[in-house]
Structure 1
Amino acid sequence: MTVLDLHTHVVPPETPFGTSSDPRWARLDTATGVVSVSGKPFRTVHRVAWDLDARRAAAEAVGGTGQLLSAMPELLAPWASPSEGLAYARAFNAWLAEAVRHHDGFFTGLGVVPLQDPAAAAGLLTEIADAGLLGVEVPSNPPTAPLHAPAWAGFLDEAERLGLLVFVHAAGGAAVADYPHPMAANGVVFPASIGTALGGLIVTGALAARSGLRLLASHGGGALITELPRIDYLRGITPALRELMPESAVDSARRLWFDPLLFDAGLVRHLAETVGPDRIVLGTDHPFMPTDPLGFLGDPALPAGFAKAVRETNPEALLAALTRPNSRQRSWR
């Protein structure tokens, strides 16, 4: 049973909203459910990917109480020019804000930003907040520079100021082409990509410098759990690294939230023991997983009550932390 799911994806039927004729845009054929990227079939999705009425009915039938909707990663369009990216982001955000508004709090959403222009991305965050969206989704490997680079500092500062959630989603990028099958790349590149992004934010002190930044990591943070001991060992023997990092890597990691998509009870238990069991929130990657990826939450190796906390208590706590004065966001049920 899913309850309050914070890692789910949506595919607008109107994409790319007439902003461009470039064939690289992801396009959905609602008659067949086929999503094409660069003019080639990429994946076939079910109606719940774009029809929120059907999606809500299906979720409520299994006990779901709410979902946080974010763009299918292929919709983030890191290749788009700054002007096209901005026009598309505004159209997507307007569609999502209007779509969730009709469901009295069952859904809320994350906006998108033009990835080729970090300054414009920062400037768009006020519009995202004013639209009632909860935050913003960004890939783990933006095209212009890593998230820890100075180019993204203004974006992170503005997200912190506005109290927006930053959902960092693992991404493949150009490395996917080096593998014989997309799922082979998914298995190898995604954990490495998200781990690299989070590790960069930690070793540069970007997280420690922003105590109010709310950041959710997809796929359990991927390789990050293996990086933390190494980073802290190196910090202990390197004065210059201690200057960059005013706190340990583990302490910085405890500022993050994680979904539990590590596909193994032992790994999730280790993550919970490292960052705290209260920092892990339900995220299923719905509707792109053909089987339940979190069946292991009932494993006796996990602490008593952990599954309930992940499904209910922890997501509610994160949402409460995101409550903003004068926000138009509805309360979740």
Structure 2
Amino acid sequence: MLVDTHAHLLPYDYPADAPECFPRMEAVDGESARTLLFGPMTFKAKDVFFDAERRIEAQDASGVDVEVLSPMPPLLKYDLPVDDGLSLARHVNEFSATLAQFDPTRLIALGMVPMQDPEVATKELQAIKDQGLRGVEIASNVVGSSIGHEKFLPFFQEVERLGLSVFVHAMPSPTERLPMSAMGTYVVGVEGAFAAGSMVTGGTAAACPDLRISFSHAAGGFPLMIPRHQYFWGGSWNEEPVDPERAVMPDDGPSPFEFARRFWYDSMVFDRRALTYLIDTLGADRLLVGSDFPAMLREDPAARTLKSMGLPEETLQQILWDNAWQWLGMEPTR
């Protein structure tokens, strides 16, 4: 049994009277695909993005039992005016909830909120829960602000109170530290690390101990940074006992490793050696299967690399199936 926790959707269409800054979906002659037009972005979207029946067929073809669907990341456009951002989020959320209703045992959906206004985003969380959506997808930064900034703390506290889940998708920041041509490669690693690191260093992880949050692509470079943070915190290598004489920034609270092991991380890191590090360092109970489907092709079959690693059956089952339900805070659909 396998849950793909990192899969994307796009609405079939947008209201005819939508603001000019909204996306548009245009028909493609002679095809079931549609073209997404959003500012300078043009993207040909296969029908599996918005057709529930096609999604189930694609699941069956690749050995997936359940998908957790989140909006295609470019829809997380936080530079829109807040009223337009809220309208866009509500349209996408309504479509997402309807798509998931086609087969709730196979399709689980997350919503989105206008994070450019943390207060508005926080107030919208109850509506997301009322629609049957299991949580929210957010970008790794909000117009350059780290998600661990104190201004977002009330948002995460409300997510925690409502029992919703968060999926953080790496997205470029407006600082342009790397060219856009690196978006699919190094930007994912840099921004994922900034996002997860800010949740620890900004105090959100401490303030929200029961927050269920996962990071796309294993939070990029974050897992490799944790041992360094652990050394500065506790003065020791290899997670050995604390050495107070070497500790640079001692703290009586949880260690950096303990904070990191409160998060979940999807397994889309493209190499079994990286997966081995994640399992050894963070624990098999922290990993989720992710594919970025249908923006990217899944392995054939899904999670082929994980399945080829010779992991104990119990460990493999954790990653393929059990952990997803822990992150979602729900019982398995079957």
Q: Do Structure 1 and Structure 2 share a fold, with TM-score over 0.5? A: yes
Return the alpha-carbon distance in structure 1 between the equivalents of residues 250 and 54 of structure 2: 51
Deviation sequence 1:204-237 (CA, Å, 0-9, x none):
3311221111001110111111110111122236
Please state whether the residue corresponding to 1:261 is helix, strand or coil: coil
Change in 2 beyond 3 A, CA 1:74/1:151: same
Return the alpha-carbon distance in structure 1 between the equivalents of residues 59 and 49 of structure 2: 12
Partner residue, 1:262: 269
Change in 2 beyond 3 A, CA 1:40/1:279: closer
Please state whether the residue corresponding to 1:258 is helix, strand or coil: strand
Partner residue, 2:133: 133
Do the aligned partners of 2:144 and 2:175 also contact (CA within 8 Å) in 1? no
Change in 2 beyond 3 A, CA 1:178/1:195: closer
Return the alpha-carbon distance in structure 2 between the equivalents of residues 18 and 242 of structure 1: 57
Change in 2 beyond 3 A, CA 1:116/1:144: farther
> What is the number of residues matched between the two proteins?
318
Change in 2 beyond 3 A, CA 1:21/1:28: same
Deviation sequence 1:15-67 (CA, Å, 0-9, x none):
47743112xx44333424332231442x3222101111111122124332211
Partner residue, 1:27: 24
Q: By how many angstroms is 1:11 displaced?
A: 0.6
Query: Residue type matched to 1:252 in 2?
Result: F
Gaps in structure 2 of 5+ consecutive residues:
236-245
Change in 2 beyond 3 A, CA 1:241/1:88: farther
Q: 1:285 aligns with which of 265, 281, 292?
A: 292
Query: Residue type matched to 2:116 in 1?
Result: Q
Q: By how many angstroms is 1:257 displaced?
A: 0.9
Q: 2:193 aligns with which of 185, 192, 195?
A: 195
Return the alpha-carbon distance in structure 1 between the equivalents of residues 323 and 213 of structure 2: 14
Partner residue, 1:37: 38
Matched, 1:274 2:275: no
Return the alpha-carbon distance in structure 1 between the equivalents of residues 303 and 176 of structure 2: 25
Gaps in structure 1 of 5+ consecutive residues:
324-330
Return the alpha-carbon distance in structure 2 between the equivalents of residues 163 and 17 of structure 1: 35
Q: By how many angstroms is 1:291 displaced?
A: 5.0
Q: 2:324 aligns with which of 308, 315, 323?
A: 315
Normalised TM-score (structure 1): 0.87
Normalised TM-score (structure 2): 0.87
Return the alpha-carbon distance in structure 1 between the equivalents of residues 201 and 40 of structure 2: 40
Return the alpha-carbon distance in structure 2 between the equivalents of residues 79 and 138 of structure 1: 14
Deviation sequence 1:243-302 (CA, Å, 0-9, x none):
5x7211110011011110111111111111111101111111111113528432133365
Please state whether the residue corresponding to 1:208 is helix, strand or coil: helix
